[in-house]
Amino acid sequence: MKQTENLEFDAQHIWHPYTSVTHPSIIHEVVSAEGVHLTLADGRTIIDGMSSWWSTIHGYNHPRLNQAAKQQIDSMSHVMFGGLTHQPAIDLARKLIDITAEPLQKVFFADSGSIAVEVAIKMAIQYWFAQGKTKKKRFLSFRNAYHGDTFGAMAVSDPENGMHNMFESVLAKHLFAPAPSCVNDKDWQESDITEFRQLISEHHGELAAVIVEPLVQGAGGMRFYCPEYLRQIRALCDQYDVLLILDEIATNFGRTGTLFAYQQADIYPDILCLGKALTGGYMTLAATLCTDKVAHGIAADGSGVLMHGPTFMANPLACRVACESIDVLLESDWQQKVKKIEQQLIAELMPYQSMGLVKEVRVKGAIGVVELHQPLDEQMDWLPKFIVDQGVWIRPFRNLIYIMPPFIIQTDDLSCLTVAIGVILEQLSKK
């Protein structure tokens, strides 16, 4: 009875992400989680293939992360960061500086990925404003880009084919190059970047920064592209005096096979956005890192004040757990785990490429994507329940069925996810 009452109340009063309050989607109540498994209120246990939107890389209920949270909460769960500091923030900043590219020396803590992007946008605009180049306030991004749901982040996401097209008329107008199409460096051709080069060449006088998701475009279509494209972008930004912002919120902390995706191109950004897996999925926290060039450039106008200050910035509890999450990752054989996941995804998902409704199967690191020819919109009345009935948690969107499992997932559990995708595809082919 309690479960029924909870779900009825939820349906009547709680607004879930990307859903309608008048036609709410099917909701499943989770009562506990352990490892890669979610236990539902009806007693069923399902395998999480989403890492809770790509964040729980170590799985759920991790003993070391639990202990870190318990120890921190006994001393201080939160204190404002304006005019104050604390050991967890200092420790986390030190770790982030140590593991990212050497030129990234300044850390601004935010409370979500979208806010990290907003901070990056502000940094870029303030940098040029302090140089007296006030016309440099637009951004160049990709089609199919997704950088978050707040207004600044929406404005640098794809305005037509993205999730925010209804807001297009009220968003700041930026520039968008075609989404990269070259998947492998060996297939690189100069023509792949022709339109991007033309846009930055023609508009560099008004461009504050280029902002892209390195190697993997996430919620804009789960699209992969080659490291050479990033190298070319870095060179063009240097040539035309434009800052480079890399949004690693989805790709950071090992998801693509390297600690950060930009490392596969052997470049570094002027500004770097981190989030999601930063705390191992325990709570919300993000960070925007920048070079001394950017930080000192902002200070050039005499004030040096970055005009942003979230209330829960550098929350001690989140910072302490993030420190432990980074230690857990770096002390593990995470590279081998991600490589093993990648190899299994290739072996078990690629056979679906031959199915008529499948457009493409692609795998990178611990990311497996099955793209269909048609969107799944008309299937969403029955599909979410059908997926959970297979004993898994997968959340398709548009024409994509994809998984990004925790790095700790075992072979059998990962096979359950890939087999479930096959069952889903078989069911879709009957519709």
Residue numbers annotated as active site? 18, 146, 247, 276
Amino acid letter at 322?
Answer: A
What is the number of other CB atoms lying within 10 angstroms of the CB of residue 111?
A: 19
In this structure, which long-range contacts are made by residues 44-47, counting pairs with CB atoms below 8 Å and at least 24 apart in sequence? 44/388, 44/391, 45/391, 46/388, 46/391, 46/392, 46/393, 47/391, 47/392, 47/393, 47/409, 47/413, 47/416, 47/417
Amino acid letter at 13?
Answer: H
Number of helical H runs and strand E runs in the chain: 13, 16
Query: Tokens in use for 47?
Result: 């395998």
d(CA 352, CA 335): 26
**Residues 61, 62, 66, 68, Cα dihedral to 10°:** -160
Tell me the DSSP string of 256-301.
TSSSSGGGGGT---SEEEE-GGGGTTSS--EEEEEEHHHHHHHGGG
